[in-house]
Amino acid sequence: MLRGRLITIEGLEGAGKSTSIDTIATQLNDHGVPFITTREPGGTDLGENVRKILLAHADIPMHAMTELLLMFAARVEHVDKIITPAIEAGRWVICDRFTDSSYAYQGGGRGLALEDIATLESILIPDIKPDYTLMLDVPVEEGLARAGRHSSLDRFEQEEVAFFERARQVFLKRSEAHDRFYVIDAAREVASVQEDIAQWIVSVIRETST
Ligand code: TYD
């Protein structure tokens, strides 16, 4: 049996990840590709509980390293229980955020050393890398405006513009360094962005079936 593929979707808040995942799902269905969708932090019962801790507001700020380790704790479970079994069973995994978000948010945003994150990645999830990553790029202000400054902001959404600027730069640097990335200017009109994403995923499907 052919192994499945891991496709990750990255970008700042308000970049349009949910709509893009719907577009990808439609194309995979139309082409008869079996897949699951999942998200980080989360994806397992344990991971969803960790997500609650990570996103909740607390009076005492969380140490950046605690935040990073919780992201990876959830990820180890996710890879072990959901992602690897699905891929081995021939299913594609469409994952809303993955390790690139840790580099961007905990590295860029919080200022942790990118080498330390790379070390954790190599120790904790040595056998899995995304096959393809869709990076939805939007200027920070635009993304934040789209995400809406609603009343119940989570721990990340309440961060300042400069935090997201640093995160965006890390996403962009990583996309230059790795061929698996497809960066799309997601500030354009939604319909045309989604058309490009549909074309991209169809080309990925073709590439993997030859
Ligand atoms: P997400 O559900 O994608 O939030 P949104 O839909 O608002 O973009 O992700 C939750 C938050 O977790 C998001 O602000 C980014 C953050 N995050 C990290 O900081 N590091 C990580 O490794 C991951 C996976 C997410």
pLDDT digits (tens, 9 = 90+) for 151-193: 688 999 989 999 999 999 999 999 999 999 999 999 999 999 9
| Average pLDDT of the residues of the chain | 95
Half-sphere exposure of 86 (CA within 13 A, CB side): 21
Buried b (16+ CB within 10 A) or exposed e, 32-50: ebebbbbbbbbbbeebeeb
**Which atom number of ligand 1 is nearest to the Cα of residue 18?**
6
Per-residue confidence (pLDDT) for residue 12, from 0 to 100: 96
With cut-offs at 50, 70 and 90, classify the pLDDT of residue 149.
Answer: low
The C-alpha angle with vertex 84 and arms to 79 and 89, in degrees rounded to 5, equals 155
Residue 97 Cα to ligand 1 middle (Å): 7
Position in ligand 1 atom list of the atom nearest CA 13: 8
Does ligand 1 lie within 6 Å of residue 10's CB atom? no
Mutation to probe ligand 1, out of 63, 101, 124, 155 (largest number of atoms < 8 A from CB):
101
Report the CATH number of the 6-209 domain.
3.40.50.300
Helix (H, G, I), strand (E, B) or coil at 24: helix
Q: Is the pLDDT of residue 27 over 90?
A: yes
pLDDT tier for residue 42 given thresholds of 50, 70 and 90: very high
Question: What is the rounded average pLDDT of the residues 109-116?
Answer: 98
Average pLDDT over residues 87-114: 98
User: If you average pLDDT over residues 55-62, what whole number do you get?
Assistant: 88
pLDDT at 98 over 90: yes
pLDDT > 70: what percent of the chain?
98
Residue 152 has a pLDDT of 80
On the question of pLDDT at 73 being above 70, the answer is yes
210 has a pLDDT exceeding 80: no
- Contact call for residues 133 and 95 (beta carbons, < 8 A): no
The confidence band for 147, taking pLDDT boundaries of 50, 70 and 90, is confident
Q: For residues 21 and 98, is the Cβ–Cβ distance under 8 A?
A: no
Query: Which range among 82-86, 144-148, 183-187, 193-197 shows the weakest confidence by mean pLDDT?
Result: 144-148
Q: How confident is the model at residue 150, as a pLDDT?
A: 65
Give the torsion sign (CA, 108, 112, 113, 117): negative
Give residue 151's pLDDT.
65
